[in-house]
Amino acid sequence: MNHQGHMASYGQPQPGYQEYQPFVYENQHMTGVPPSQYGPYNGPIQGYQQTAVPQGPLRLPPGTAPPPTSIPPSTTAQQPIYNQYRQGEVLNGPALPDQMQRLPVSQPYMPGNTLRSGSQTMPSQHYAPPLSHAQQLPNQMARMQISGVSVNSASPVSQGYDPPASRPQVATSLPPVGPTPYSTPLQNAPSSTPQDNSLLQQPFPGQPTPASTFTSLPTANLPPSLGMQRPPMMHGLPLPGQAPSGTYPSMPNHRSMDPQPGMPGVILSGPTQGFQMQPAPNQGFVPQQNGSFGQMRAPQPNYPAPSVGAPNYSSQPQPQQKRLDPDSIPSPQLNELPTQKKTRHRIDPDAIPSPIQVIEDDKSNRGSEPFTTAVRGQVPPLVTTDFVVKDQGNASPRFMRCATYNIPCTSDMAKQCQVPLTAVIKPLATLPADEAHPFIVDHGETGPIRCNRCKAYMCPYMQFIEGGRRFQCAFCCCVTEVLPHYFQHLDHTGKRMDYYDRPELSLGSYEFLATVDYCKSNKFPNPPAFIFMIDVSYNAMKSGLVHLLCEELKSLLDFLPREGNTEESAIRVGFVTYNKVLHFYNVKSTLAQPQMMVVSDVADMFVPLLDGFLVNVIESRAVINSLLDQIPEMFADTRETETVFGPVIQAGLEALKAAECAGKLFIFHSTLPLAEAPGKLKNRDDKKLVNTDKEKVLFQPQTSFYNNLAKECVAHGCCVDLFLFPNQYVDVATLGLVTYHTGGSIYKYTYFQAQADGERFLNDLHRDVRKVIGFDAVMRVRTSTGIRATDFFGSFYMSNTTDVELAALDCDKTITVEFKHDDKLNEDSGAQIQCALLYTSCSGQRRLRIHNLSLNCCTQLADLYRNCETDTLINFFVKLAYRGVLNNPTKPVRETLINQSAQILACYRKNCASPSSAGQLILPECMKLLPVYLNCVLKSDVLQPGAEVSTDDRAYIRQLVASMDVSETNVFFYPRLLPVHKMEIDTDDFPVAIRCSEERLSKGGIYLLENGLNLFIWVGMNTQHDLIQSIFNVQSFGQIDSGMAALPQLDNPYSKKLRSMVDIIRAQRPRFMKLLIVKQEDKMEVLFKHFLMEDKSANGGASYVDFLCHMHKEIRQLLS
């Protein structure tokens, strides 16, 4: 679809109106808007103040903190949080300042200044959460003392990050750094912190103003509000850092853990936290967590003062010492791949940033209150956090998530920091029931109102001028006349009077009804069709697939996607079976029995019938059922083992073409297509290619046939879903190509047996058939001048550089977009992104879904580092790397990833962190999980395959990941490991996850591990018999049948709870996970261990600790 040309059409405002429900609207903005506006204000201010008063707050409840500075109270409140997190660690302060900056920007947005009163309320709300935080903190601190690091992790900043897969190679590269033993020192060197602070503060001179405004407010209120501020964003760490300059001894206290003198400590400090790894050779670990090296000692002394903190710190040293045995720490060279023992000794795993901690902190900090989107550049809660979104002008993070919400103004800055500017967009994401579905706006016959020049759609960022007669585009600044029917007067703030009545003026996400101009060949589309294409060759019959599938289809057809509340689905269905030839079925309702039409001319595929192939399910029910009964019977004795594949897709495509509609093919396929036909493949699997320069061919299609076919499919809106049931190599890389380019899904069930895998397959099929889907879609991402979408990742096809063409797009498909500068951005106006998706709904309606997101721009790198989202970043890296393997061997791909990450971190270290000894590893708070997640990515099967990983599986994963959203990549790379034995039966909550490492498994425990594709229950040998009894219904560990397909249905709380957990987890993931029971020391355990991402992997992936050291080395090299 060309967006161009439609520009002219302005919808009539009125029509849209009616549909639109004012109620909802008002409510939303009523509640949402004002508060949010305030929120931001407070936030920044607090941050600001906090910097001043970091220490006190640490443990103290907000209240305590406030005193120091008048306004500061709020800041103090925050600090406490941070401090707590850090406890011992040295915190760099940067985070807060960011917010400060933001405020000013935000102001323009909020007309609401006037409404201060409202604002106050907000803060108070915020308040509550912080408190709890504060309380928890102390506890945590106590635990964490061991290493500052751990403390850091506790900080709210990062939410759950997922599983990393590490690869050995990485480890090897590490060595250089490592000569020194690793010590996990804790805090950042005090000295550094101060500096940071100062730096940070300076940049924010502007902030004062906001602060000032606040001051006017009653002080009392302030304090709490401060605490509230999105602690997560500004990690506690930063604050401390800032403090330094101030004064504040408190910081020093934190440092209490002095690193051991001699040790070059590695400090990992996020902007906030740092944990240090001391590279110093030979030296033992510094039990104490020091910030920076030199200072280590000094800090401690200071510490004492800090009230609560002190005790913790003191305790810390000891534990650290235990773990860090100086002697054992061999030279730091990671290269050597120190044995597990060694590493353990060197660095306390607890001392390094913990994904679990980050996730849990974010949950507790941000899970309880709604995330309102009124403010520009807000970092949303982590994907692992359960939160409610209120759309107030920016798209929900469920639709769009960015790696950084504050982007550099210039390309130089962007190059310097190497942080990719990227957005992960899921245009049709499913929203939770309590969030409003995007409203549909009808602008009438003239179509949606758009900017004359850049064709951007009407959105909240458009500025109406000249009394509402024109509007200025927020993207290209062009001024466009307002069509008469869309005219509306402006109020005194310059807003249109109908601001709240029109979703396109007040919301971040909404839909336009498209006019006929937006349709192919200027005809409104027909409702789409689903075609089920079933392999009936020997393998498929034998595995029971065909039988199972046909049986299931009978009921499944009742669940075709429906529009809104309509009774009947408009989608028509058709059936094809095939082996070496294709069989079409005429299931016209008037027939007494179905008719089968065999097309054996596979070289030149065509559709043998028109009428009766695609039918309405309800009308043709009887014939369809009769057909589905007969298919398994007809082919029961087949001995045909050869299949075709290309012609199958061609047939579906032709059928859709003939019916003049878009649609989806569900292909159920079992073998490598060896029969003579276009798209015939040969078995080219060659394990020997792994780790060679030719490895990439394994990911490339064998023939260009499927590429061309995909192109044609996309042109006609033919989406292909592929269900594979292979018993051997089927060349997923080639077969999946069309699926990949048409926005389809691919499912693979290796060694499928109806008995064992039926449940998984049927559930997947059910979900796949029923899910929300748009057809024949084109997505266009527009941005404000200065940046440009330059690269796209996901399952789609692009025939030019701007339009993402999708034969279909469903609610699970995500597209990752990378932006690059082509000009300067302006701090004041920020940067806007508008993603417009033109698609055909399941009822055949042509629509445009618009998502808008506004970001802040910065001239200071620190702002950027404070507003990052590691999960999104990882999502981007994965997709980049997985695409990279198409053209490069995996080793350079891995190295590129490491390099870029190292540069990001080095840049932070160089520009934003307080100066400290080179031995310290300082990480930005927002990115403190970058190493662990990156390691998971590097260790993944695609980038570093073990011998047991098949070529097909790698290609399969590669494709899956391409369209994963952030939450999926998160859990996929860092699996969730839940201690089942610790579950609380009385509540619905899950037990707190533990880190993916074998040493964290207890022999007496039962654990559940899931990564979105796999689901394991691991049973320790010493698990109590009664627990085993109540879950597995057997007497003892030895009697547990690891082959069981499902947990027994037992009527006891443990069993119920566990089963409900499994059900809930399955429901959360787009794909059904088959449950595998793994007993400790069983041979299956290898499989399970593969997912313990923090450990060294069997195929050479580095352990978390080793990798961290390696990263440190890389960073140091960059810095030197």
Partner 1 sequence: MPPVMIRINDEQQKSSVTMTAYLEFIQQNEERDGIRFSWNVWPSSRLEATRMVVPLACLFTPLKERPDLPPIQYEPVLCSRATCRAVLNPLCQVDYRAKLWTCNFCFQRNQFSPSYSGISEVNQPAELLPQFSTIEYVVQRGSSAPLIFLYVVDTCLEEDDLQALKESLQMSLSLLPPNALVGLITFGRMVQVHELNCEGISKSYVFRGTKDLTAKQIQDMLGLAKPPKGVQGRTPQPHEHPSLSSRFLQPVHKIDMNLTDLLGELQRDPWPVPQGKRPLRSTGVALSIAVGLLEVSFPNTGARIMLFTGGPPTQGPGMVVGDELKTPIRSWHDIEKDNARFLKKATKHYEALADRATVNGHCIDIYACSLDQTGLLELKCCSNLTGGYIAMADSFNTSLFKQTFQRVFSKSLQGDFRMAFGASLEVKTTRELKIAGAIGTCVSLNSKGPSVSENELGVGGTCQWKVCGLDPSTTLGIYFEVVNQHNAPIPQGGRGAIQFVTIYQHSSSQRRIRVTTVARNWADAQSQLQHIEAAFDQEASAVLMARLGVFRAESEEGPDVLRWLDRQLIRLCQKFGQFHKDDPNSFRLSETFSLYPQFMFHLRRSPFLQVFNNSPDESSYYRHHFMRQDLTQSLIMIQPVLYSYSFHGPPEPVLLDSGSILPDRILLMDTFFQIVIYHGETISQWRKAGYQEMQEYENFKQLLQAPLDDAQEILQTRFPMPRYIDTEHGGSQARFLLSKVNPSQTHNNLYAWGQESGAPILTDDVSLQVFMDHLKKLAVSSAS
Q: For residue 402, give the amino acid letter.
A: C
Nearer to partner 1, 662 or 675 (CB): 675
* Token representation of residue 29: 């903005």
SS3 state of residue 1015: strand
Please report how close the Cβ of residue 651 comes to partner 1 at its closest, in angstroms.
11
Phi–psi pair at 1018, nearest 5 degrees: -105, 130
Nearer to partner 1, 247 or 641 (CB): 641
Please report how close the Cβ of residue 528 comes to partner 1 at its closest, in angstroms.
21
From CA 531, how far away is CA 775, in angstroms rounded?
Answer: 14
Please report how close the Cβ of residue 840 comes to partner 1 at its closest, in angstroms.
23
Taking alpha carbons only, the member of 83, 109, 264 closest to residue 181 is: 264
Nearer to partner 1, 568 or 611 (CB): 611
Cα–Cα separations (whole angstroms), residue 680 to 169, 665, 670, 731: 37, 19, 14, 11
Please report how close the Cβ of residue 677 comes to partner 1 at its closest, in angstroms.
11
Please report how close the Cβ of residue 536 comes to partner 1 at its closest, in angstroms.
9
Please report how close the Cβ of residue 580 comes to partner 1 at its closest, in angstroms.
7
Nearer to partner 1, 600 or 826 (CB): 600
Nearer to partner 1, 142 or 596 (CB): 596
Please report how close the Cβ of residue 611 comes to partner 1 at its closest, in angstroms.
4
Nearer to partner 1, 631 or 778 (CB): 631
Query: With left for phi above 0 and alpha for psi between -120 and 50, is residue 461 left, alpha or beta?
Result: alpha
| Residues whose CB is less than 8 angstroms from the CB of residue 294 and which lie 6 or more positions away in sequence, other chains included | 189, 191, 917
Please report how close the Cβ of residue 668 comes to partner 1 at its closest, in angstroms.
18
Complete edge-to-edge strand list for the sheet that includes strand 479-481: 463-465, 470-472, 479-481
Nearer to partner 1, 595 or 843 (CB): 595
| Residues whose CB is less than 8 angstroms from the CB of residue 815 and which lie 6 or more positions away in sequence, other chains included | 424, 425, 426, 427, 779, 792, 793, 794, 796, 804, 963
Q: For residue 484, give the amino acid letter.
A: P
Applying CB under 8 A, which residues contact partner 1? 579-581, 583-584, 591-601, 604, 606, 608-612, 626-627, 630, 634-635, 637-640
Taking alpha carbons only, the member of 94, 36, 84 closest to residue 64 is: 84
* Token representation of residue 846: 């042509």
Taking alpha carbons only, the member of 73, 327, 424 closest to residue 214 is: 73
Please report how close the Cβ of residue 708 comes to partner 1 at its closest, in angstroms.
20
Please report how close the Cβ of residue 713 comes to partner 1 at its closest, in angstroms.
21
CA 1080, distance to chain mean position in Å, is 32
Nearer to partner 1, 341 or 639 (CB): 639
CA 192, distance to chain mean position in Å, is 32
* Token representation of residue 502: 């029109």
Please report how close the Cβ of residue 647 comes to partner 1 at its closest, in angstroms.
12
Nearer to partner 1, 165 or 677 (CB): 677
Q: For residue 888, give the amino acid letter.
A: N
From CA 329, how far away is CA 325, in angstroms rounded?
Answer: 6
Taking alpha carbons only, the member of 794, 658, 779 closest to residue 718 is: 658
Strand partners, 364: none
Nearer to partner 1, 172 or 638 (CB): 638
* Token representation of residue 284: 């033992």
Cβ distance 276 to 151 under 8 Å? no
Please report how close the Cβ of residue 517 comes to partner 1 at its closest, in angstroms.
26
Nearer to partner 1, 59 or 583 (CB): 583
Helix (H) or strand (E) segment spanning residue 140: helix 116-144
Nearer to partner 1, 640 or 686 (CB): 640
Please report how close the Cβ of residue 584 comes to partner 1 at its closest, in angstroms.
7
Nearer to partner 1, 594 or 726 (CB): 594
Helices 95-109 and 208-216 pack at an angle, to 10 degrees, of 70
Please report how close the Cβ of residue 540 comes to partner 1 at its closest, in angstroms.
13
Work out the end-to-end distance of the chain between its first and last CA atoms, rounded to an integer number of angstroms.
52
Query: With left for phi above 0 and alpha for psi between -120 and 50, is residue 127 left, alpha or beta?
Result: alpha
Cα–Cα separations (whole angstroms), residue 624 to 454, 611, 655: 49, 15, 18
Strand partners, 721: 666
CA-CA-CA-CA torsion sign (947, 951, 956, 961)? positive
Please report how close the Cβ of residue 464 comes to partner 1 at its closest, in angstroms.
51
**What is the DSSP secondary-structure string of 557-612?**
GGG---STT-SS---EEEEEEESSSEEEEE--TT-SS-EEEEE--GGG---S-STT
Size (the chain), residues: 1120
Other C-beta atoms lying within 10 Å of the C-beta of residue 610: 11
Please report how close the Cβ of residue 669 comes to partner 1 at its closest, in angstroms.
17
Nearer to partner 1, 598 or 1098 (CB): 598
Cβ distance 537 to 638 under 8 Å? yes
Nearer to partner 1, 247 or 638 (CB): 638
Nearer to partner 1, 399 or 635 (CB): 635
Angle ∠(459,464,467) on CA atoms, nearest 5: 150
